[in-house]
A and B are shown apart, each in its own frame.
Chain A
Amino acid sequence: MSVAARPQLSHLRALESEAIHVMREVAAEFERPVLLFSGGKDSIVLLRLAEKAFRPAPFPFPLMHVDTGHNFPEVIEYRDRRVAELGERLIVASVQDSIDAGRVVEETGPRASRNRLQTVTLLDAIAEHGFDAAFGGARRDEERARAKERIMSFRDDFGQWDPKNQRPELWNLYNGRINKGEHVRVFPLSNWTELDVWEYIDAEQLEVPSIYFAHEREVFRRDGMLYAISPFTELIDGEEVFSDTVRYRTVGDMSCTGGVLSKAETLEEVVLEIAATTITERGETRADDRVSEAAMEDRKKAGYF
């Protein structure tokens, strides 16, 4: 049988196919996977990929959101709507509950954030539900430590990542063998860039939370970033509140995620803006990465997303 040369699969469809393959491998080889859904753009893409991998059947895993209590209300509203639309089960693991139970201690002061606390809530929830694999939307283009991580990334029974001793990952043959108490994190979007994600959202016409589009908001400037006024932010002397047109490139806590000045009101405009940007999404919007040279590596070692 001879097959005529056919057009190449576009790079987005090639990335999509690779990600679907990864999701099915995990569904087949693990007993209790979970998909971490934050309502952000990357996990929105994960949900679409799960539909492509498993429909017409329901997903072979629940969704889980680690809710810091400091989220943008627009994102929580979107999260619940999307989950209802899909008819899938959502588990909410609450950082507030971890604080109330004395598992973590809330930071104080105007720069306090619940970012670090999430790790404990996440690991507790993984242990409580006995999850052995957790899908995350992290991408290698986001940050230098993430650039080093495997698609299927092993976590020991303390939830720790050991970047100096990762399992070889050959071809597309994933080794999902673990002992009880250990788990893996799985990143189907490892090889996607931020631009790929937006082009895909546009191609698939996926709905995203409204904060990804330009809107008027009360903000103040700190460390070169524009933060939203919210019940979770305290102004420091001299900081002034003003109104401007911003959008968000990443979805994190209101306390540590900056907005960017933007006029992009549609998916096409967002794609154009991202294609032209000269600064990375985390560099532009996340205070949590600026703590030290290896801030992300250190958090990941401790079990962060």
Chain B
Amino acid sequence: MTLDLLRFTTAGSVDDGKSTLIGRLLYDSKQVFDDQLAHVAEASERRGGEGTLDLALLTDGLRAEREQGITIDVAYRYFATPRRRFIIADCPGHQQYTRNMVTGASTADVSVVLLDARRGVLEQSKRHAFISALLGIPEMVVAVNKMDLVDYSEDRYAELRAEFEGYAEKLDGVKTITYIPLSALNGDNVVTRSAQMPWYDGPVLLDHLENVEVAYDHPGEKPARFPVQWVVRPSNGDGDYRGYAGQLASGALRRGEEIAVVPSGGRSRIAAIDTFDGQLEEASAPMSFTLRLEDELDISRGELICHPDEAPSVGRELRADICWMATDLLRPGGKYLLKHTSRTVTAVIDGLEDLLDTHSLERIEAPTEMGLNDIGRARLRTSAPLAFDPYSSNRRTGSFILIDESTNATVAAGMIAQDASTARAD
């Protein structure tokens, strides 16, 4: 069974044609409204002269983006075919806006990495492919774009494919990589099969996106994780009601089951699964609902409800991959707010273990600091315990953000490592 709703993101270096590709995909699948198209035609002609149609303007909607001809922040677009609904995040390629690319990629199931057939596999293409893998996006499409500029050459395509395959061997976490030669500008192999590349017999982009199976197809098949967001306690007469509201991050819960509350450690049974539409016998991710328990426990926001035999790790020490997003440097000893599920605590950076060279994929040991757009592994200590899973097994309970309290800026995306707390060096 395939997913009803597929989220995908674009990635790759600046000017490789990401926005043009999304525009082409929407245009050729007849998902552009007449007034949007008229607007884009008019805006294109104003910039490029009569007869130009710049499909990138379908997503590059900000004044500054149009002035500079680049994407600055993620644009979200929605479209549907009879097979599936899609949420597209069209991301910027420019290095300066990497954090916006991470924003778009953090919720994606599929990442479409573009290469410019002339320019090849650039440093930034690799960085984005690496970030996609790090964010746990299981499916990757490598779209070799601008094939029109290399005479639709099979040799050139094979050369780039081999080069990328060499790089991708070292990428952890990506399940499959699908290679597609295309021209976003002319529409070759985007929605319709290209007559220019008879040597290619794989799927065209839209076909692939309609059919690709992602791990999220079965979000219910993991241990149950229910972070409590909010305690429902009416002050208006319904005096006895006490419900724990949240969104099930993974797995399933049933009425009558025994549950554990972590990190605080209580045990009880599920008395009821309440929704506005009535009670449920069973609920699965990603539903939002309210739990009532048989026993009176003191549970507040930030606790997590799970099955006792499948509890997550609980601890105050973490190892995690960090994408650093601030111009201020990250250094050992730095103190931040850490938001993880519905819990916010203070965290101190205990140490930096390594820094990644996204080009060679080599790890530089024991760096003294991390700068803007650096990716590395850090050890953190928190002011209160967290209940967590490795990111590779659970995106929801394995991720966190760091916030700088002096600026309120979100300064890092964090992904908890497999051997999260075991290897602390002290």
Give A contacts to B, CB under 8 Å: 1-3, 5-6, 8-11, 13-14, 16-18, 20-21, 24-25, 27-28, 51-58, 140-141, 143-145, 147-148, 150, 163-164, 166-173, 175, 177-179, 190-191, 193, 277-280, 283-284, 293-294, 297
Give chain B interface residues in 322-363, CB to chain A under 8 Å: 325, 337, 339-340, 342
Contact B396 A53 (CB under 8 A): no
Q: Does B217 contact A (CB under 8 A)?
A: yes
Q: Does B301 contact A (CB under 8 A)?
A: yes
**In the docked arrangement, what's the CA distance between A141 and B307, Å?**
39
**In the docked arrangement, what's the CA distance between A23 and B36, Å?**
31
Q: How far does the Cβ of B402 sit from chain A's closest Cβ, in whole Å?
A: 10
Give chain B interface residues in 2-58, CB to chain A under 8 Å: 3-5, 33-36, 39, 43
Give B contacts to A, CB under 8 Å: 1, 3-5, 33-36, 39, 43, 59, 61-64, 66, 72-78, 85, 87, 99-100, 102-103, 106-107, 217-218, 220-221, 223, 229-230, 232-236, 238, 241, 245-247, 251-252, 275-277, 284, 286-288, 301, 307, 309-310, 325, 337, 339-340, 342, 395-396, 399-401, 403, 405, 408-410, 413
A-B contact count (CB 8 A): 193
Measured CB to CB, the nearest residue on chain A to B276 is A52
Chain B residue contacts of A21, Cβ below 8 A: 229, 246-247, 288
Contact B288 A168 (CB under 8 A): no
**In the docked arrangement, what's the CA distance between A167 and B74, Å?**
12
Given A172-B396, A177-B405, check contact A140 B339 (CB 8 Å).
Answer: no
Q: Which of B66, B241, B399 contacts A170 (CB 8 A)?
A: B399
Contact A148 B241 (CB under 8 A): no
Measured CB to CB, the nearest residue on chain B to A13 is B287
Contact B342 A25 (CB under 8 A): yes
Contact A169 B103 (CB under 8 A): yes
Contact B76 A191 (CB under 8 A): yes
Q: Which of A5, A9, A20, A147 contacts B77 (CB 8 A)?
A: A147
**In the docked arrangement, what's the CA distance between A16 and B276, Å?**
12
Given A58-B234, A166-B73, check contact A24 B287 (CB 8 Å).
Answer: no
Given A11-B5, A168-B410, check contact A294 B252 (CB 8 Å).
Answer: no
Given A56-B234, A173-B339, check contact A28 B85 (CB 8 Å).
Answer: no
Chain A residue contacts of B288, Cβ below 8 A: 16-17, 20-21, 24, 52-53
**In the docked arrangement, what's the CA distance between A140 and B59, Å?**
11
Measured CB to CB, the nearest residue on chain B to A10 is B4
Q: How far does the Cβ of B241 sit from chain A's closest Cβ, in whole Å?
A: 6
**In the docked arrangement, what's the CA distance between A21 and B301, Å?**
13
Chain B residue contacts of A2, Cβ below 8 A: 221
Contact A283 B36 (CB under 8 A): yes
Contact A177 B245 (CB under 8 A): no
Chain B residue contacts of A54, Cβ below 8 A: 230, 232, 245
Measured CB to CB, the nearest residue on chain B to A163 is B62
Contact A145 B61 (CB under 8 A): yes
Q: How far does the Cβ of A292 sit from chain B's closest Cβ, in whole Å?
A: 10
**In the docked arrangement, what's the CA distance between A56 and B63, Å?**
45
